[in-house]
Amino acid sequence: MFLTSMVGLPLAARIEPKDIAAVVEPGRTLGSYLGDQLVGTATSATSSLTVTGGAIVPHAAVTGVGVLPTHTRKGVVTSLMRHQLDDIDSRGEILATLRASEATIYERFGYGVASSSVSAEVDTRRAQLRQSVPVGDQVRLARPSECWEILKRISEDNRPDRPGTIDRPAGWWAELELRSVARTDPAYVGLYGPIGAETGFVRYRPIDTGSWFGSGPRTVVVDDFFAPTPEAEAGLIRFLLTLDLVDRIVLSTLPIDTSLPLMFEDRRAYRAVGESDETWLRLVNVEAALAARTYEGDGTVVIRVNDAVLPHNTGCYRISSEDSAGKNDSGTHRVERTDAAADLEVDVSTLAAAFLGGFSWQRIAGAGSVVVNRPAALCAANRLFRTDRSPYAGISF
């Protein structure tokens, strides 16, 4: 996300007029004007998101939200975000996500933190992999300027089934390429798998190279670690550990449930250095979103959702492992609107936190964000919304 106040930070890449259409999807950028002066913006991109169970649903990737510092607290963001949500809804996109520069803004528009990520460091001098770790396939080096189409193909053909995964829109790739052209420091790409059939990649760069011939530590930062399978993850880690002169590997973002710390004989070779909110999720069409994902176990829960921005979502939803006759022969679950009394009551932003399984209902209720009318419903909701893999997207936009 851009900063919510346009504070005059330099552009990450100089975008020429001829390149704007490649970076910004036509028809999806909103502007707020005072006379002929642009005072605020919000944009989005057509995308898709993987929900629990593996279904891929229409989704909007929201970014570029900003207001001039002379026009903050005048309702500009409110007007832009409400207009944008109406537009997303009209396009049939049932979910929207963003990355928040400030954590106190977007909840009032129905967004909630649905996934988190961890950043970590690996001390290569202690990082001996266990014998049980898969060997993986070959990794070859490629110049970033020569491999954008390969990276696009890899990410499209090997999309992870992890909840929270989104596709990488064309504009995201275009901006990334422009950034790479503008940068002067070295950067590298490792491609995992046979030529023409690669299934993973890592984008990385050495930092503070001027001091590498001194006392160190010599550090490589991983900006993008695309490893959709355990074999790809192991193969790419093995490759990074073979880099000469490197004392420390910094992985900017990993899923909360990463297996990486368990791969080393010396557990302390890996150190988590930070946890951050990642995906801020907005259910644009609550009924369609709840129906798109799968649920676990038996049980029934009625959830009342309150949505002040998109009031058509306000109402009660029954999620049940039984059909109308009280049977479940198919092992599936049913989602439907109902006039029945609510077991649980939440704001739409709170539902977003539970939707992908990133936060349990019990944990959310402990923060006072759930009105519990039937205590047993919390346990039922925990079972229904449970997921085996923590939600994670792995990219910023």
pLDDT, mean of residues 86-90? 98
In the chain, the largest separation of any two C-alpha atoms, in whole Å, equals 75
pLDDT, mean of residues 308-331? 78
Kindly report, residue by residue over 61-72, the tens digit of the pLDDT: 999 999 999 898
Contacts of 383 by beta carbon, 8 Å cutoff, 6+ apart: 296, 297, 298, 299
Q: Answer whether residue 5 shows pLDDT above 60.
A: no
pLDDT, mean of residues 28-43? 93
Secondary structure letter of residue 340 according to DSSP: S
pLDDT of residue 243: 95
Q: Answer whether residue 114 shows pLDDT above 60.
A: yes
Contacts of 153 by beta carbon, 8 Å cutoff, 6+ apart: 198
CB atoms within 10 A of CB 11: 9
Q: Which two tokens stand for residue 354?
A: 């539970």
- The domains of the chain, with CATH numbers, are 17-113 (3.40.630.30), 117-277 (3.40.630.30), 281-385 (3.30.1050.10)
Kindly report, residue by residue over 137-166, the tens digit of the pLDDT: 999 999 888 899 999 999 999 999 999 999
Q: Which two tokens stand for residue 198?
A: 């690669």
Higher-pLDDT residue of 124 and 216 is 124
Sheet holding 315-320, edge to edge: 334-338, 315-320, 300-306, 344-347, 371-372
- The rounded distance, in Å, linking the Cα atoms of 32 and 74 is 11
pLDDT of residue 318: 98
pLDDT of residue 17: 67
Characterize the bridge pairing of strands 200-207 and 188-192. Answer: antiparallel
Could you give the angle at the alpha carbon of 366 between the alpha carbons of 361 and 372, nearest 5°? 65
- The rounded distance, in Å, linking the Cα atoms of 147 and 120 is 26
Residue 54's pLDDT band (cuts 50, 70, 90): very high
Residue 178's pLDDT band (cuts 50, 70, 90): confident
Residue 14's pLDDT band (cuts 50, 70, 90): low
Residue 204 zone, left/alpha/beta (φ > 0; ψ -120 to 50; rest):
beta
Could you give the angle at the alpha carbon of 277 between the alpha carbons of 368 and 3, nearest 5°? 110
Cut 0.85: pTM above it: yes
